[in-house]
Structures are given as C-alpha cells and as structure tokens.
Amino acid sequence: MKIETTPLKDCFIIHDTIIKDSRGYFFESFNKRKFKELTNIEIDFVQDNQSQSSKGVLRGLHYQKDMYAQAKLVRVLKGKVLDIAVDLRKNSPTFGQHFAVELSEDNNLQFFIPRGFAHGFIVLSDETVFFYKCDNYYNKEYDTGIKFNDPTLQINWLLKEEEIIVSEKDANLPLFKDAVYF
C-alpha cells in the first residue's frame, strides 16, 4: 500500500500492490494497521456499498450531516469514473475546494475521503460497478448534498451537461452557498 497525498487536506489516493501471475491477480484492498501507519488516521468501516451505473450517470455530490457524517474509501470494480471530493470543513485550509481523480478497473486506485466532505462521481465508461466502504451508517434524515453543477465550485465533470444523467433528488440539491458545513 502506497499513500499519495492530494491538494485537499486528509484526502488520499491509495495505490495497492498488485500481484499478477498466469492465474490473474491479487491485492489487499484495505489493511487498517497499514492505513493508520501511513495516514495517521484511525478508521473503523461499518458499512460497504456497491452501485452499478451506465455512462453519463452522475451520483452526487452527497454527504451526511452531523453525527451521521461518513468517511469513505471508494474504488471501481468495473469500468471508469471521475471521482470528486469537496471540502466542507469551515476551518480547513482547503474549505470549498474540490479534487478529482479518475478511478478505474485498470488503475485499481482507491480514494479516501474523510468526514466533512461532499462526494460524487460520474461514469465515463459504458458500465461501471462502484464500491465503497463507510465508517458510519447511512441515515436518510441526515442525507443531503450539493448540486453537481454549482457555479461556485465549477467542477469539470468531463462530459457535456446534456450527456449527464442525474436523479431528481440530485438535480434538486442545494447550492454550495446554501450547504450545511462542518
């Protein structure tokens, strides 16, 4: 496991050591002890989630408020996405900034997003299977987000807006200026 820092405080890209041979490949996708040694972050994941989406589907920018905030470790099992994290921590030096990383079945990168961030992704391949670990349980009443095309954030989702498919819920999320910050 190799940790790469990002411009956002406490967000990390994880490069796993992949062992390949004639049978296929193997890699350890998470090791709590190694993660703590490399990031100085103690994490206990309690929920795993998986989604399947087709090209152009944008899920996000989501987060949970208050005591239900979640840290996430995300990766792509099949396909390719552009993954985005937005820092919502008022006292952070990177508050209001976002970071994008391409995650795919070919690069096997993982992206760690701590509590206090909004998160979203857009599918760039024909089909994607997306997997993520969370350190807190989902709670519908505390679920919120930021509109994907917020003019303050100016995120480049790499697809034209007419190619982007969002749920009704995501299309009606508040703007960044009206978001609940941490």
Would you name the residues annotated as active-site residues? 62, 132
125 Cβ contact list (under 8 Å, min separation 6): 55, 79, 80, 81, 104
Burial class (CB in 10 A: 0-12, 13-18, 19+), 129: middle
CA angle at 69 for the pair 65 and 74, rounded to the nearest 5°: 130
- Residue 132's nearest CA partner among 56, 57, 81 is 81
User: Maximum Cα–Cα distance for the chain, whole Å?
Assistant: 53
Question: How many residues belong to the chain?
Answer: 182
